[in-house]
Structure 1
């Protein structure tokens, strides 16, 4: 009959003759291996079988390190049955139950790692896009290494093979070295993952590269290599240097001596905190030893006083301590400085982007990205400077102290435990990154859906689509919560693995320290010191995973913000751009060519001149380029060929600010700020007085209307000016332009969407403000531009005709046809109205 522990060993006590009980050690290690073999490995293998695709052999890269990995795995595979056979032969002719348990657990684990290793070598899960081993495989190899390292604590035990007092011990020691070296190589090489295919190879799975390039895959491959797709992939530390370089100018408050002093004091508090953290357990040790050895009352009282003082500086529990309190208080202003500088720079950058970008942007996503990105800056700086760096410093101090004051084993235990903890944290957190990114994408999508729906409130009502909008928003939230569940579930796995590693280290160290106290090597105070120091060290280490996750989350949250920073300005001032000075107010287009897309030209060699004080009208069918001319003159875009001049000066050589201060625009679709009428008019010249605002309103023929409102000029216009009618909004825009007093006036179909009566009143206002100014009018209704100095007819991006109203009618060409068509439309409309109210057709034509 086989006994579990054999005749010379037992499961308890755990510590026997300066080492672990062999039965306990092998039971614990086999249990850990069984856990890994029963849960993470089978799950990952199942995932690979179900979701991975095969990579062709020609895309699997061979390397020396990959071969070394395979040799290490085979070494572990061969060593396990050899050791089991030796145990069978040397222990009373039969094997113990714990040996069988350990043999089965190791063999199953090693075989599963080989299967998973082969899958990761030959298959790829497409959506992961990461060149690394799975967390389950790395943790399994790490567990094999940890088991061998922990056995070193039994170096002096006669029950173990480290003494090498017999031939059997020599063999066991050689096998242990084999396991230690093989497991170490596997874990270290796994960080580089030399045998895992790259993502660009997965794009070529089961296909020829020529076929992929023909299908447009070449650009996708390049974008994946450079990380230029819209959705970021890979580690969030990728590009960290660029991100930190962008943030660095805001971290140090240059030019503000007071804030710089705040930063220096905060750093001083950090250094002082590291010293305090070392002395707190030392003073506690002195108190315990003093009470045990019967030291004098004065000595005890002094140590207690110093201990309480240090605890006051250090803090604990819910208290942050005096040093942390001072640091947090002083850092508030520094944090606000950084946050304000980044937000204002980003806001300025967005305003500098081209009209093309703003027309294609998604406002909800942009606002959400700005909000999350600026908040993440505070989190990033706080955690890196005041959490990660102090924790690393405390770890280094602890290792040095225990090596010098205790012995090397305690330093090794702390080093190995912390190294595995950090490795576990980094690997699992990197794995979780994709879930966080997916959460952000779906969060943006949900917020964008909500904002679009609210902005189009009237459209939703028109089509009775409230239920449809709610259902779509609900679907977006469900989609977001699916990613949120994956993120939170993976967090639970991370916390469990961290707790396991920490408590194994605490167990090994405490058992070893207690043994030394029992042997008389250490005092009771030393055991108290070890326990106090380790708990004190593990407390911030427990939060290290949180800090790392928060830093990862901050980098992820900042990615969308950095994408906004990466948007390049399409229209920029030249380094030597001059300031425009206007005298005669002439405008000239000379052979101007422009296209929004290369394959679809909008303007083809447009040339015309507007003399000072003249009014030139642009007419033509939709898409002929009328509004584009207005945008090019205002320099919303740069032209591809030709020259646009004002007073003989090429507008591309002057600053945009000086150009635009001379130009006033009354657009077709007037958008007002959600403010009162007075401030919306004053936006034309923010330094204008209330009297000047009222004079501009009178000139635009809207003063009397404003005076009839209960709040007069303090009347709020609502979102985008929706509380005002179309005619009222247009007159406010005209008043704003009058207040600006521009030398050049651009009217972009300013009355096309208004009724006839309102159009007639606004046209009178426009005629008044354009008197004496160089004016370019984009006209939809030809009746509004019959008095223009020159009418230019555009067709297919070219000038088809030009001349006065009468001259163009005599040509009997495009303009004459448009004029006849509009007269016909007016007649039909009048005929319809006559049938309804019996009025005169001629009267109605005159009215039109």
Structure 2
């Protein structure tokens, strides 16, 4: 096949370029200046199942995930031990300071008893609760060893943390790589019906913006969440070992934190789903407005387009503001709860030191642990908005991945013994909508080498007929055979590889003219490309360009006229050398002189090939072997040009309207 499949036109379309654009706009919810009532309504899935499914995408990285968790445990364990060892350093300093104030040669018990006799009960308790040696100051050797141990522990923790982050980055990027690949494969398996119902900008938003947001979410939250959870467990364990009473005080704030986070997150999740839905709506509006920029200018609808943009932009702003504001409340709320916890620990810990039941170093370590305990909870809370935004994007991507696919190709596809181009419709019925009949019980045969022209009024089903040959849609009943093989039993790629298609709505990609022609046959040589260009009279205008065949054009064909663009697509079909040729108003954009030249070239191309030609200018199909006149999905007349004129039926009326009389008023 020489061109990518384009969205088919429904029964209300005459499949000309202008009608095709209008129908695509209509299917996407109205023109760019309309309110977008046709936007698909999105329903949010539950946060939990979506988050679990997103985490499930990491399954191929099980070994890496286990390694990351192991490194995280080691890093957190080392970091958690640090404050406890620093507490020992505080005890050494504190014991040295107190010891220098006590008379040498006395025991700790004697020093404590002397303090009680002097009426200083609190000081006595402090002496008994600390490793005080009366008359001995700070042991700097011991202090230096403790501090070196702390430095070594923190350096090791940082190294393990760095290694964990490095491995996690690779895991996330490979996961997103697979997700993008799966989405791309899914798009290739989706039927054209899916794209009929979706805005192009909306689909692009899911493939680009939403996947990028998922990548950012996984990258920023996975490591932090893992470290935060491990830190909470490790710190809690150390707090219990140091003082079960203070640990109980610290744990009082957990239910409050969970309740606050849960209530806020529940309200913000809906706003994040709305945020990304409105992002897709805005992208779709922008894509349509700029694709139809000339149409908007012609009809003077610029202000309506701008109004539509402002309306969608305001909806996106409101949803984004609410989502970020509501989620942003979580972190200050957690900080407030954490500060209350800090105050409680400091007061109770001070009382415990005064009573001699805890050392000052233990209280200092516990205060650090209390801050470390609330800090990961605060970090997790601060990531709630990012996490919810990522899950909302994941919902949209999963919705695309869960969309119904086209009927799969047979496991053992049939292949025609010879490719001659014989096409047969046997009692074919098809409709886009179940309650709107289009083609009903149609039968016809196109013999090899025949040129079959299809004419008829707008919405008669002309392009639908050739789209069914290409198997862009599945039949409701009946069958279509190519060289006596049912096309439904063939592989789609094999079926379309022998078909060349030239549309009125031309398609070129960014690249040189040579590359655009070669698209019909990637293995073609420069000589073959030149021969195809000469046969279709492309060579005539290309040689006048400064860069010749190396002239670069963009996907809109800027730099060449509409007729020249169409000639390039015809050259592409020539180069493909197909068995079956489909021409959908392929000469509508060329001038009369060029049309005559192209008609001669097509006559040579159609030799020994079956050709289906959709035409509105009946002068271009006079020499067709068979002319089909369609109305409302039915073939009402068929025959040669002379036979149909002699019958004085529907074809005669169409021909007379074009050549014998002025346009009549249509009822």
Taking structure 1 as the reference length, the TM-score comes to: 0.65
1:234–1:609 CA distance, 2 compared to 1 (3 A): closer
Describe how 1:175-190 pairs up with structure 2 within 5 A: none
Q: Deviations over 1:273-330 (max 9, x none)?
A: 121122111111111112223464332222111111222244xxxxxx3333222233
CA distance in 2, matches of 1:530, 1:822: 94
Alpha-carbon RMSD: 2.4
2:234 — aligned with what? 397
Contact 2:453 2:628 in 1 (8 A): yes
Match of 2:48 among 237, 242, 257: 237
Q: Of 326, 342, 345, which residue of structure 2 is paired with 1:509?
A: 345
Deviation string 1:23-80 (CA, Å, 9 cap, x unpaired) is: xxxxxxxxxxxxxxxxxxxxxxxxxxxxxxxxxxxxxxxxxxxxxxxxxxxxxxxxxx
Cα distance in 2 for partners of 1:329, 1:704 equals: 58
Matched, 1:291 2:291: no
Aligned partner (choices 344, 347, 351) of residue 188 of structure 2 = 351
Out of 425, 445, 449, the residue aligned to residue 609 of structure 1 is: 445
CA distance in structure 2 between the aligned counterparts of 1:327 and 1:240, rounded to whole angstroms: 22
Q: Please show how residues 702-781 of structure 1 align to structure 2 within 5 Å.
A: 702-781=538-617
Distance 1:582 1:724, change over 3 A: farther
Pick one of 376, 398, 401 that aligns with 1:540: 376
The alpha-carbon deviation at position 479 of structure 1 amounts to 2.9
Mapped to 1, the partners of 2:372 and 2:224 lie a distance apart of: 14
Partner of 1:698: 534
Distance 1:234 1:653, change over 3 A: closer
Alignment partner of 1:783 is 2:594? no
- The reply on whether 1:584 has 2:420 as its aligned counterpart is yes
Cα distance 1:266–1:392, how it changes in 2: closer, same or farther (>3 A)?
A: closer
Deviation of 1:467 after TM superposition, in Å, equals: 4.2
The aligned residue for residue 102 of structure 1 is: none
The 3 A distance-change label for structure 1 pair 802 and 413 is same
Mean Cα deviation higher: 302-311 or 631-640: 302-311
Distance 2:43 2:312 in 1: 21
State which of 191, 210, 213 in structure 2 corresponds to 1:373. 210
- Structure 1 residue 659 corresponds to structure 2 residue 495: yes
Q: Judging changes above 3 Å, is the alpha-carbon distance between structure 1 residues 615 and 825 closer, same or farther for their aligned structure 2 residues?
A: same
Question: What does residue 671 of structure 1 align with?
Answer: 507
Correspondent of 2:472 among 636, 639, 650:
636
Aligned length: 584
Q: What is the rounded CA distance, in whole Å, between the counterparts of 1:359 and 1:725 in structure 2?
A: 29
Question: Aligned in 2, Cα 1:415/1:574: closer, same or farther, shift over 3 Å?
Answer: farther
Structure 2: how far apart are the matches of 1:336 and 1:238? 22
Name the residue aligned to 1:53. Answer: none
Q: Tell me how far 1:629 sits from its aligned partner.
A: 0.8
Q: CA deviation at 1:578?
A: 3.6
1:193-242: per-residue Cα shift (whole Å, max 9, x none)? xxxxxxxxxxxxxxxxxxxxxxxxxxxxxxxxxxxx83223642244444
Which residue of the partner structure matches residue 128 of structure 2?
A: none
Question: 1:311 aligned to 2:149?
Answer: no
Contact 2:416 2:484 in 1 (8 A): no
> What is the Cα deviation at residue 793 of structure 1?
1.8
**Aligned with 1:435 (options 267, 271, 277):** 271
Query: Are residues 735 and 350 of structure 1, via their aligned partners in 2, closer, same or farther at CA, if it must alter by over 3 Å?
Result: same
- Mapping for residues 95-134 of structure 1, pairs under 5 Å: none
Between the aligned partners of 2:361 and 2:519, the Cα distance in structure 1 is 74
Structure 1 residues 563-572 or 589-598, which shifts more? 563-572
When residues 496 and 334 of structure 1 are mapped into structure 2, their CA distance, relative to the original with a 3 A threshold, is closer
Deviation at 1:737, TM superposition (A): 1.1
Change (3 A) 1:296 1:412: same
State the match for 1:150 in structure 2: none
Any conservation in 1 of the 2:423–2:482 contact (CA below 8 Å)?
Answer: yes
The residue matched to 1:720 in structure 2 has which SS? coil
Which secondary structure does the structure 1 equivalent of 2:439 belong to?
Answer: strand
Q: Give the distance between the partners of 1:485 and 1:357, measured in 2 at CA.
A: 32
Give how far 1:588 is off.
0.7
Which shows bigger deviation, 697-706 or 484-493? 484-493
| Mapping 1:119-518, distance limit 5 Å | 230-233=41-44, 235-245=46-56, 247-249=57-59, 251-252=61-62, 265-294=67-96, 296-314=139-157, 321-383=158-220, 385-407=222-244, 409-518=245-354
Distance 1:746 1:369, change over 3 A: same
Would you say the 8 A contact 2:236–2:373 is kept in 1? Answer: no
Shift of 1:753: 4.4
Q: Using the TM superposition, give the Cα deviation of residue 693 of structure 1 relative to its aligned residue in structure 2, in angstroms.
A: 2.4
Rounded to whole Å, the distance in 2 between the matches of 1:280 and 1:267 is 20
Alpha-carbon spacing, 1:464–1:607, altered in 2? closer, same or farther (3 Å) = closer
SS at match of 1:688: coil
Matched position secondary structure for 1:791: strand
**Inter-partner Cα distance in structure 1 for 2:340 and 2:231:** 20
Which residue, 550, 554, 559 being the options, matches 2:390? 554
Can you list the C-alpha shifts for 1:339-360, whole angstroms capped at 9, x where unaligned? 2221122122112222222233
Checking the alignment, whether the CA contact within 8 Å between 2:231 and 2:376 is kept in structure 1 is no
Give me the whole-angstrom Cα distance separating, in 2, the residues matched to 1:327 and 1:530. Answer: 27
Q: Which ranges of structure 1 fall in alignment gaps of 5 or more residues?
A: 1-228, 253-259, 315-320, 829-848
Structure 1 residues 690 and 299: CA distance shift in structure 2, 3 A? farther
Q: How far apart in 2 are the matches of 1:826 and 1:772?
A: 38
Measure, in 1, the Cα distance between the counterparts of 2:534 and 2:400.
42
Offset, 1:402: 2.2
1:473–1:532 Cα change, 3 Å:
same
Separation in structure 2 between the aligned mates of residue 581 and residue 393 of structure 1, nearest angstrom: 65
In 1, Cα distance between the equivalents of 2:558 and 2:197? 23
Per-residue deviation, 1:647? 1.2
In the aligned structure 2, how far is the partner of 1:827 from the partner of 1:413? 91
Alignment check: 8 A CA contact 1:286 1:525 kept: yes
Question: What stretches of structure 2 of length at least 5 have no aligned partner?
Answer: 1-39, 97-137
Q: Secondary structure at the match of 1:802?
A: strand
In 2, Cα distance between equivalents of 1:614 and 1:771: 8
Q: 1:620, 1:794 within 8 Å by CA — same for their partners in 2? A: yes
